[in-house]
Structure 1
Amino acid sequence: MKLVPLVLTFCFYRTDGAQNRADRYHNGSSPVLLDLDLSAVVRRVDPRFLSVTIDASLAADERFMLLLRSQKIQILTKALSPAFLRFGGTRQDFMVFSPQKSQQLDTDADESCNGTLLPWWAEEQLKEDWTQQQLILRGEELQRKYHRVQFSELTVDLLHSFSSCSGLDLIFGLNALLRTADNSWNSSNARSLLKYCESRQYRMSWELGNEPNSFEKKAGIRVDGYQLGRDFTHLRKILSESKLYREAGLYGPDVGQPRDHRTDLLEGFLQSGAEAVDACTWHHYYVNGRDTSLEDFLDPEVLDTLALKTNEVLETVKQASPGKSVWLGETSSAYGGGALGLSDTFVAGFMWIDKLGLGARLGLDVVMRQVLVGFGSYHLIDKDLNPLPDYWLSVLYKRLVGPEVLKIQVTSNFGRSKRVRLYLHCANKNSYRSGAVALMSMNLSKKPVWISVPALISSSTVDAFVLQSDRQGEEGLDSRSVKLNGELLKMVDDKTLPSLSGERQPPAQHLQLPGYSLAFFVFVDAKAPACR
């Protein structure tokens, strides 16, 4: 295995000749040396690696589920396919299926994806009302007082229609707080829901419960890991009795991230329930949304905490169930609904792209972003149904980055290099010819960086996709707008996304990574053996 050095140098940007500029900045600058290996794939993630969630709070008042019939949301979501769409969250464990036949949608019609779109006036009214609904939900969240919510066939029909029309695979979260006298899971309501979904031939996957480690805090009910595993085994048995769902996916237990190195609930679950699930799921957030800061979002040490928590979970799963796939079943920047003015702005992209790159390298197979649309400050699409910076970052990732992870390693001890983070994958073969590679890059510093391309791929042309805030410097980090190669990203109209094309650069060009920027560099003619 041959490792090829890639040199990065910190510099101040100047506008004179490219070659002279690169030579000048190598003098007196401390290089960051990286080794890359294009001969073999380190690991492969699921093609749906970047997936999304819809929080169950959207169904707290069922009429807001009608927002999923917005043509704009469907167009935006389709650009994220292939992906899973998880419907769950805190309020899933307070939701009870209550059939009301009169509300059932006609989703059998051939024109169901286009013929049942939300009228513009209804969409505008729902968006206006959603602002008030968010205040109600926020109050419940702060007080930790949740009330039981009844949902009908309408919620299920809308979710299935939306996921199908958008090309996403639906995962529905069932209520795990419905318990019997002996504290085992009461499956009667889930059976009613499954019977309805089977009658409609809805192909979908399932979860049971959300963050069981917080059941006692939010509902006064304590369920240990071993009992939770038995509950999942019970659900798997129910699914196996269904002709439609006997092969359906079942994922869980959606535990919160390990606190103080404790993984006992997950360990107990794996003892009794590992065989029931197709993947073991857990949740991760870097910081508390109520007391975090801009500095946290740019702190390499905060970003590195993901590796610590991920390795704890991976080791726990490996010991109990070797070979079991591990997913981040829910994740974003800050818990508690996100950090207002940070989680929905440009600066959140550093946490997001680093989580995608680091998570894939460490051993996660799927990462589900909280939330596509709905409650909180960490959404990809805002309350006016306009895409936020992390949405554009996600679409570019989908288009450019393939599932094959390649080796790239920092070999310099230069401290500032912690603020330059890079990950290497094969390029997405739907967008580029076989052998191309994609370098995911981020610069947490205000100073630009130059990348000197190694000889192995120096003959390749490069497509550069550089994302920056629409405002320069630190003042632009809290912007809700983003530029791609200098052009502001926005929808052409409610039906059309911009082209999102890269800037073609000739071979052997030194690549610039501006301060406070995110970038994808695709080496079109790399001819990497691992990617052919």
Structure 2
Amino acid sequence: MNDLNNNILFNAVKAFKSLRLRLGGTLQDRVVYKVGKKPVKCENFKLDQNELLGFSTGCLNRSRWDELNAFFNKTGAIITFGLNALHGRKKAPQGNLYVGDWDSKDARKFIRYTILKNYKIDSWEFGNELAGRGIGASVDATQYGKDLIALKKLINRLYKKSTTVPKILAPGGFFEAEWFAEMLRTSGSGVVDGVTHHIYNLGAGVDKNLIYRVQDPSYLSQVAQTYNDIVNVIKDSGPWSSAWIGESGGAYNSGGKDVSNTFVNSFWYLDQLGMTSTFSHKVFCRQTLIGGNYALLNTTTFIPNPDFYSALLWHRLMGPGVLHTTHNSSPFLRSYAHCSRQSPGVTVLLINLSNSTSFDVTVSSDLNLYPNALAQSLVPVTGTGQREEYHLTPQGGNIQSRVMLLNGQPLKLTSDGQIPEMKPVIADTAAPLHVAPHSIVFARLKDLKAPAC
């Protein structure tokens, strides 16, 4: 996010009205905060192969933090900030383990300055990819849990005069059941609000099979086991917490060129948003807004990639209430349903991974209000009502196109850099919902009654 004055960037973030931005990642544990009355001396990050992850320690200047918060305030962004959880530790003689207590002095000055300036932080995340075996560096789970207790005390003390207290997130790493369980047991009740884990279930971005994996229903479903496992660990060891995807770009090492930044990637992306919701995950942070092949915005022009529009439609249509869905059709048809956001009824998401088969879908509501009864009542959606449909397809039928069509029209910025309107087509509720090959459909059914909604 170098050019905070870029009009396209500004409009893209503001379009969500409440887009969560996570500041952190690979280098966050190497950051020194240059704030306060006596700021430490530090320089910008530099390439250094002798240092952790190939970079020197770097600096976040007060002026840059001020600029960022001005941008956040104007766009309505919700901020998760990743703290430098390696600060003060020393590397063990062997392996990538770092030992010793976290030195909180630097973070304390930074948080105090943030409060003084009245900058709104939704959540402070402790560390990046230090869990389990770690990526480049790791911290023992028991030690991590003790440091989280110290962070909780620090947050409570600094925010004691504030009306709201930010959440604490941890560990921002790859899931390893015993490590995560020990972290939660050690930190104890009410310390960790969100258990953040990272997902790159598509493999390496350079893998030539990447484009096939995002169209393979059996491959996409494999990660469901991880989602289920982490929910069970939280239930057993930290039921006061909730599961979050703290980072996911599908394919690691910056994603896949001509895959992660094209239409086809929305098969993976929207499927993951749907799947994680069914496994009680509360937040899904996409890697990245800008940077790499998996960015929502083009890294140089900031023009939205197809996944940006997929995310925006999800955000506007799919409410927090998650409904159970089933269908008796092909596994290449993926289906999810939520209570509609800020409107009555239900919104259905249908993803057709097949390149040759279309589906005509009739939606029915299972109004089984009495779970002990032998019979369930299936109520088809019929009558004279209407539904809103958003059909997403690739330009020219090429799934590797960087232009997404909405109801046959390309989604392109307006002449003054605004995000285009995304209007539905209106259809008769009683008519089957047509899902073309290699397409994605959101359908908002205002007259569909679900007790959960």
Please state which band the TM-score falls in when normalised by the shorter chain.
0.7 to 0.9
The AA in structure 1 aligned to 2:338 is H
The equivalent of 2:326 in structure 1 is: 409
Matches within 5 A, 1:95-494: 95-99=31-35, 144-180=53-89, 183-204=100-121, 205-213=123-131, 217-219=135-137, 222-242=138-158, 243=160, 247-258=165-176, 263-274=177-188, 275-287=190-202, 288-291=204-207, 292-373=209-290, 375-383=291-299, 384-410=301-327, 412=328, 417-429=330-342, 432=343, 434=344, 436-446=345-355, 447-454=357-364, 456-459=380-383, 460-472=385-397, 476-494=398-416
* Cα distance in structure 1, aligned partners of 2:36 and 2:87: 21
Q: Give 4+ residue runs of structure 1 displaced > 4 Å after superposition.
A: 214-217
- Deviation of the 1:216 alpha carbon: 5.9
The AA in structure 1 aligned to 2:317 is L
Question: Are 1:198 and 1:244, in contact at CA under 8 Å, matched by a contact in 2?
Answer: no
Change (3 A) 1:448 1:466: same
Between the aligned residues of both structures, percent identity stands at 30
Of stretches 182-191 and 388-397 in structure 1, the one that deviates more from structure 2 is 182-191
The equivalent of 1:17 in structure 2 is: none
Question: Are 1:465 and 1:501, in contact at CA under 8 Å, matched by a contact in 2?
Answer: yes
* Cα distance in structure 1, aligned partners of 2:352 and 2:142: 44
Question: Are 2:131 and 2:171, in contact at CA under 8 Å, matched by a contact in 1?
Answer: no
* Cα distance in structure 1, aligned partners of 2:20 and 2:135: 29
Question: Are 1:201 and 1:244, in contact at CA under 8 Å, matched by a contact in 2?
Answer: no
Aligned to 1:241, the other structure's residue is in SS state helix
The AA in structure 1 aligned to 2:205 is G
**Count of residues paired in the alignment:** 414
Unaligned runs of 5+ in 1: 1-57, 59-63, 104-135
* Cα distance in structure 2, aligned partners of 1:150 and 1:508: 59
* Cα distance in structure 2, aligned partners of 1:318 and 1:282: 15
Aligned to 2:21, the other structure's residue is in SS state strand
* Cα distance in structure 1, aligned partners of 2:60 and 2:20: 22
- Deviation of the 1:86 alpha carbon: 1.1
Question: Are 1:145 and 1:218, in contact at CA under 8 Å, matched by a contact in 2?
Answer: no
Cα offsets for 1:39-89 (capped at 9, x unmatched): xxxxxxxxxxxxxxxxxxx5xxxxx2xx12323212111122334221110
Pick the structure with more helix per residue: 1
Change (3 A) 1:179 1:519: same
- Deviation of the 1:180 alpha carbon: 4.2
Structure number with greater CO (CA < 8 Å, separation at least 6) is 1
- Deviation of the 1:213 alpha carbon: 3.1
TM-score (normalizing by structure 1):
0.73
User: What is the root-mean-square deviation of aligned Cα atoms in Å?
Assistant: 2.4
The equivalent of 1:129 in structure 2 is: none
TM-score (normalizing by structure 2):
0.86
Question: Are 1:203 and 1:244, in contact at CA under 8 Å, matched by a contact in 2?
Answer: no
The equivalent of 2:94 in structure 1 is: none
2:433 paired with 1:519? no
Unaligned runs of 5+ in 2: 40-45, 91-98, 365-378
- Deviation of the 1:388 alpha carbon: 0.6
Change (3 A) 1:290 1:268: farther
- Deviation of the 1:323 alpha carbon: 4.2
Of stretches 248-257 and 227-236 in structure 1, the one that deviates more from structure 2 is 248-257
